[in-house]
């Protein structure tokens, strides 16, 4: 869990966590990583994000997250980067959707798709 705490502003896949341990000489199986992640999710210490069926689940330490409870994500259609944002811009949109359509969105599971600044610079978009 210490590694996830040190990376609390990032979303990490189980594969990225496995690479970290391998690079640091720790022989930890992916099964063990998934088992520990599942336990931490159940305990509320880690959040699990599943963006779509084509992308690996991401995990993020949540006990002391600087973003607090309200946040959303930006996913780049080109490179697949998942950007964790603060929740300041979305509540007014969520209220407008609730008031106009009688529909409550789950802000913490909201993902906006588009192109990140790095990728948009690559193609001159």
pLDDT in tens, 91-107: 888 899 999 999 998 77
- Tell me which architecture the domain covering 1-64 has in CATH: Orthogonal Bundle (1.10)
Q: Which residues are CB-contacts of 65 (< 8 A; sequence separation ≥ 6)? A: 8, 9, 71
- Average pLDDT score, the chain: 82
Q: How open is the CA angle 120-85-49, to the nearest 5 degrees?
A: 100
Q: 64 or 97, which is more confident?
A: 97
Please tell me the pTM assigned to this model. Answer: 0.60
Cα 10 from Cα 4, distance rounded (Å): 9
Q: In CATH terms, are 1-64 and 67-125 the same topology?
A: no
pLDDT exceeding 90 applies to what percent of the chain? 26
Q: What is the mean pLDDT of residues 54-78?
A: 72
| pLDDT at site 4 | 86
Is the pLDDT reported for residue 3 higher than 90? no
Binning the chain into helix, strand and coil, the percentages to the nearest 5 are 40, 20, 40
**What number does CATH give the domain 67-125?**
3.30.1490.190
Q: Residue 124 above 60 pLDDT?
A: no
- Per DSSP, 12 falls in state B
| Token reading at 55 | 């992308």
Task: Find, among 5, 9, 6, the residue nearest to 86 by Cα.
Answer: 9
pLDDT tens per residue across span 110-119: 788 899 899 9
> Which pLDDT score is estimated for 123?
56
- What's the full length of the chain, in residues? 125
């Amino acid at each position: 869990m210490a590694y996830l705490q040190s990376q609390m502003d990032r979303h990490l896949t189980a594969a990225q966590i496995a690479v970290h341990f391998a690079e640091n000489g720790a022989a930890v199986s992916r099964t063990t990583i998934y088992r520990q992640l599942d336990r931490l999710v159940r305990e509320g210490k880690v959040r699990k994000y599943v963006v779509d069926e084509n992308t690996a689940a991401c995990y993020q330490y949540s006990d002391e997250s600087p973003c607090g409870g309200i946040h959303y994500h930006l996913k780049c259609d080109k490179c697949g980067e998942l950007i964790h944002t603060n929740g300041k811009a979305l509540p007014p949109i969520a209220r407008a959707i609730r008031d106009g359509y009688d529909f409550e969105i789950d802000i913490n599971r909201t993902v906006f798709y588009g192109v990140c600044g790095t990728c948009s610079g690559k193609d001159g978009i």
